[in-house]
Structure formats: structure tokens, C-alpha cells
Amino acid sequence: MTILWAVLGFSLLIGVLVTIHEWGHFAVARFFNVKVLTFSIGFGRAIYKKQRGETQYQIGLIPLGGYVKFLDERVDSVAEHEKARAFNQQSVYKRFAIVLAGPIINLIFAWLLFAVINMIGVSNLKPLFETPTNNSPLASAMTDLDGDHQAWWLVEVDHQPVSSWPRVQQAVLQGLVHDKASVTLSLQPFGTKADEQVNNQLVELPLSGLDLNNVKSNWLGELGFRPKPPNLAPLIDEVLDGSPAFKAGLQSGDRITAVNGQVINDWQALVRFVRLHPNESHLISYQRNQAQYDVMVRFEGVEQSGEQIGRLGASVDQTQLQQSEYYAIERYGVLGAFEQGLHQSVNLLNMTLVMFKKMLFGEVGLAHLSGPLSIADFSGQALQSGFISFLSLMALLSLSLGVLNLLPIPMLDGGHLMYYLVEMVRGRPVSERVEEIGYRIGLTLIVGLTILAFTNDLVRITNG
């Protein structure tokens, strides 16, 4: 089933992004009255094709890209009356615009997707964390704070508002990518009333202990953040088939009231007890339809981070979060959504360019490079997680596709743009010999990067 989701997610994702990219080339070419012979999504043998007007639209067998084929004297013989519409007969500025349109439309599409996401609204837990007691960078940074508080709201990172944990993760990653020694946190004590005037307290959190090359690292955890769990009532939402909860007859809607006669008031208290007692049987009291029941449940033992923990196999009713102070829905009006979307796009674009530079100069490892297998896995997970998750991944990959195609590598759009810039300066195009050499270099680079990306994918899959 996971493979099916991955295939479906990958097909939707790549299909949309490639179509958008090639449509950019197509639309600008048509604007300049350049004849388009073929509009293809995918490479290789056409498994579907349809002629509409002077253009053949088709889907190729290999779904890893696409292309637009123009009328061109360098490729095919062109009738005298159509020569003015051939791509090679256009001015260098028109050719430049046609090629540039593909990557640019991907960048614009990413912005539009982020704007749509911000209009729909994103639901997340607010960044509330327990006061660290461990020997961590965060604990050291907070030693001189005023007051004795059990938890803190994280309000800003580097003077930018953060309303959810994903925003915090992105802000820390941005600081790490830009080689910042530390980030400034603006904190507010937990329990502060909305109308209470409180001066936020500032701390400098060092990032020097984090390794950007460790792509699987929990950077927030390494810094010392321990998100404070919401105080949710012990109300069951779903029960996994075959789990201890399922075998004991527990159902959705049941409310856990006690374990071994000890009253349970919130879900986290139940979670803590279960985790500490793997492979043990305990008496659970629960309420169903105003009636009280007792049942013996043997908690399952599972491995996590090298230790045995108990597992019940039931999830908490998450709808309670929507009425709690721990929960935030980020939603904007039309203008605000486009402004926020542009801000997100620019920040991610900047981080992407910096990461490309770091990989090029060997400052970070090439393990960050993902191939089609990872993209398929991510897209399948995002598709199962919901519409917003899938749109977010699509926006991120659209932006990455736009940047990748602007790199000055022959075979990519950026390589053609580089040749056109040289032609603008010299007043004549580069020679066919130079183009041929560039093509071979570009092909070698693309094949090498593809093999590396596939290798990274296989390493990720085999290592779990």
C-alpha cells in the first residue's frame, strides 16, 4: 500500500510540475509566434498522443521530465514560408525569454502554492516548551532568565515571529545554513494572560553543536527543546487492529479513568505509565456511554532508541486541540497570503542557493541530494498526510526545480541561457563545437548527479 501511495504521489507531483515548467516554454514561444511541434510530459516512447492544431501533445514512457520541441532548422528541414517561425531564426532575446520562462514559471508557481496554503490555513501546535533541566545549549542560554517557570512560549527567532514548531525548525535551519553562530530567541513565560503586559526575554542560543551534514538529526532536540505536551483528556480516538487496546476491547470514544485504581486525568499521564511498563499486564478502568468498566491489558513491548517501551496501540482524540491554547491556525487574507507566500519563497530560495553553493565547494556533503525514489517516498507520505502537506511539498519541489534549471549546466535551461548571454556580449552565437563539448560535459554531470541521487535514495531506504 505504501508503494501504491508513493507511485500515485510521485505521478501527481511530477506530472503537475513538469507540465507547469514546459507550459512556461510553450506559452512564451506561442507569444512570439514560434511554431511548437511537440509538447511532451515524460521522455521516450509516447504512450499517449493527440494532435491539436500544429502541436502534438503526448505523454512519454519515462516520467522523469518533459520537453517542448520547436520548429528548428538545425534539427529538421523547414519550408521557406515557415522559416520566420523557426526557433533558431528568433533574436537571441526572444530565445532567452522562451528558455527562461520554464524555470521562472516554477518559481512563480511555488509562490502561488504558498499563497493558497496560507489562505486555506495551516494547523500546528504552538511552540511551547518545558524549561530545560539537562545539560544542553538551551539550558545554558536560559540560566540568567528572570523568574522560575516550568514552561515558556517561543515567540520569535531572530526577531521573526514563529507561531508553530515547523516555523521554529525552519528558522533554526535558516540560521544553520547561513553559518550563524547563534540565533536570538524571544521568550514569554507560560501562563501569561493574553491581556497581560509582559516584556519578552531574549536569549542567545548557540548553534555551533549542530551538524548540517547529519540530515536525519533532530536539531531542536539536540539544542534542548522539549515541547510541552498539551493537557488532553484521556479520550481514545482510534484503536489499531491487533494492538493491546484492540485485544482488550477498547473502542473509539472510550475515556480512560484509572490505571490500577490510580486516577488518570490527562493523556500524557497514561502515556508515561504505559511506556514504563512494557510486556506487563495492568488493570485499566474506562468509561463508555456513562457506564464504568474494568479490563486487564497487557502492554506490548517495542524497541525505541535502543530501549524497551510499552505500547497500548490507541491514539488520543485530537479534536480537543482545536479548543486549547496550544493550537494555532495560521490563516491570511488574499493580500496577506500572497505577501507571506512571497516571504516564504524568498527565504527558501535563498537557503536553496546557499546549499547548492555549499555542496559545490564541499562545505556540506552530497547526502542532501535526493533522487526520484526519495521524492516518491516523500510525496506518498505527504499525500496520505493531507492536501496541505502535499501542496507544501509541491511548492518546495517547484521552487527547487526552478533553481536547478537555472544552474549554468549545459543540457539544462541554465546552460542555454549561459550561451545566449555570451551571444549577447559577442554579437554572434557560440560555435557548434563549443555547444557539442558543453553538451558532453553537461551529460556527464547530469548522469553523475543522477547516479549519486539514486545512491543516496538507496542508502536512505536500506538504513530506514
Residue 156 β-bridge partners: 161, 186
- Per-residue pLDDT at 69: 92
Question: Which residues contact residue 118 at a Cβ distance below 8 angstroms, ignoring those fewer than 6 apart?
Answer: 330, 331, 332, 336, 337, 340, 341
What is the pLDDT at residue 90? 94
235: β partners = 255
**407: nearest Cα among 366, 446, 457, 436:** 446
Dihedral pair phi/psi, residue 6, rounded to 5°: -65, -45
The arrangement of secondary structure in 236-318, i.e. its CATH architecture, is Roll (2.30)
Q: What pLDDT does residue 228 have?
A: 84
Show the beta-strand stretches assigned E in 31-131: 36-52, 55-70, 122-125, 128-130
Q: Hey, where are the domains in the chain?
A: 125-228, 236-318
42: left (phi over 0), alpha (psi -120 to 50) or beta: left
In the CATH scheme, what is the homologous superfamily, with its name and number, of domain 125-228?
Answer: PDZ domain (2.30.42.10)
Tell me if 125-228 shares its fold with 236-318. Answer: yes
Q: CB of 264 within 8 A of CB of 257?
A: yes
Q: Give the Cα separation of 414 and 236 in Å (integer).
A: 54
pLDDT of residue 20: 94
Residue 65: what pLDDT? 82
How much is the pLDDT for 374?
61
pTM: 0.79
22 is catalytic: yes
Q: Point out the residues of the chain with pLDDT beneath 70.
A: 1-2, 147, 192-198, 215-216, 305, 321-324, 365-385, 449-450, 452-464
Burial 34-67 (b: 16+ CB within 10 A, else e): bbbeebbbbeeebeeeeeeeebbbbebeebebbb
